[in-house]
Amino acid sequence: MKKEFSILLIFLFMSNFVGAQTINSLTSKEIKQGWILLFDGKTTNGWTTGSDQPVLVGWEVKDGCITTVKDGKGGDFVTVNEYKDFDLSVDYNITPGCNSGIKYFYSKYEKGGNLGMEYQILDDKLAEDNKKDNHLCGSFYDCLPPNAAEKKVNQPGEWNTIRIVAKGKNVEHWLNGKKILEFTRGSKNYTDAVATSKFNKTTPTFGMVEKGRILLQEHGGVVSFRNIKIKLL
C-alpha cells in the first residue's frame, strides 16, 4: 500500500512539473494552436527601433524580460514583421507612476507620420496622465475607455496579462482574463471617438490601416515585458 501511495505521489509531482510553463516558452498545446513567440527572453531578435535601427540603448534584456532603462531615452521597441488578424498576449510589470503602452497596426500614414492604436498601460493612481477615462489603463488611448466594472488590474510591482484580439475590423482589449473593451473600427462610435482625439487629422482615418507592427512603448517610466506571443487568426 505504501509503495502504491509513493508511486501516486511521484506521478502527481511529475504531472505538475510537466504541466508547468516557464516564461517565454510555449506549451505543446499552444504550438498546436498556432501561437508564435515574439520574444525569446534572451535577445532582441525580431525587434527593432521605431526608426529601424538596432535596439541598443534604452532597453535591456534581463531575467527573461525586456525592460526600459530609467531615463534611457531609447525610444520604442517594434516588431520587424507586420500583422493583420491576430491574438496578441503580453505580460507587463510597471513601477509606480509609470506610463507606457502597446501599440498595434503601427505603420506610416500618408498624413500623420508613424502611428499605432495604443492599448494604454498606466498606473491609474499615480501617473500624471490619469485625468481622462480614455487615458486609463486598458483604454484605446485617447479614443475609447475600458469597462471599469470589468477591469481588475494588479498594482505596480505585480504582473498583469494583456490580450489584444483583432479580427477584421473588430478589436478586443483584455486584461487579466477579462474583456474590458470591444469596438469596431470604422463604426460610428469609433469614428466619433477618433474625431475628438488627437489623431483626428490623419490620412487614412486613424486605425483604419489593414496591417501594422506591434510596438512596446518607452515613455520615460520603467516597464518590463515578457511572454510576448501572437497567434494569427
Range 133-139 contact pairs with CB under 8 angstroms and sequence separation of 24 or more: 134/193, 134/197, 137/175, 138/173, 138/175, 138/180, 138/181, 139/173, 139/181
Please name each of the domains of the chain with its CATH number: 21-232 (2.60.120.560)
**Mean pLDDT across 9-24:** 55
User: What pLDDT digit, counting tens, does each position of 130-158 carry?
Assistant: 999 999 999 999 999 999 999 999 999 99
Instruction: Report, as an integer, the average pLDDT of 192-214.
Output: 97
Q: Does position 38 have pLDDT exceeding 60, yes or no?
A: yes
Inform me whether the pLDDT recorded for 163 exceeds 90. Answer: yes
The pLDDT of residue 50 is 66
pLDDT for 3 beyond 60: no
Geometric angle at alpha carbon 60, from 54 and 64, rounded to 5°: 115
Asked if the model's pLDDT at residue 10 lies above 60, the reply is no
> Contact at 8 Å (CB) between 215 and 66?
no
pLDDT of residue 13: 45
Segment 87-136, tens digit of pLDDT: 999 999 999 999 999 999 999 999 999 999 999 999 999 999 999 999 99
